[in-house]
Amino acid sequence: MAIKIKARIKEKPIKEIFIDTDFIRLDSALKLADAVQSGGHAKIVIQGGEVKVNGEVCTMRGKKLRDGDTASVPFMNIVVKKR
C-alpha cells in the first residue's frame, strides 16, 4: 500500500530595498531589509553560507550589491533597486 503525501511549497516573500548610491554592502542590505537583527547576526548568516547573491552562495560580507542584484536568505528574497 502506497502512502501519498501532498506538500505545498510556499514562495519566499520578495523585499525590495532602494539605494541612492552606486552600491550597498551585502551585510548592510540584509540589515536594511530586516532579514537580520544586527551586523553581528549578518556576519554569522553570511559566513555560514546561508546567503545567495544572484543565485550563488556568497560568504563575503562586503560583497557590493548594485541595482538589479538579488540576495536570498532561507526565508526571503531581496532585490536591490536604485532610486
How much is the pLDDT for 6?
A: 75
Long-range contacts of 28-33 (CB under 8 A, 24+ apart): 29/65, 29/71, 29/78, 29/80, 30/71, 30/73, 30/78, 33/71, 33/76, 33/78
Domains with residue ranges and CATH for the chain: 14-82 (3.10.290.10)
Q: For residue 31, count other CB atoms closer than 10 A to its CB.
A: 18
Task: Tell me the pLDDT tens digit for each residue of 23-75.
Answer: 999 999 999 999 999 999 999 999 999 999 999 999 999 999 999 999 999 99
Task: Record the cell numbers describing residue 77, joined without a space.
Answer: 528574497
What is the arithmetic mean of pLDDT over 3-32? Answer: 89
Section 13-22 average pLDDT? 95
Output the pTM of the full model. 0.84
CB 73 within 8 A of CB 30: yes
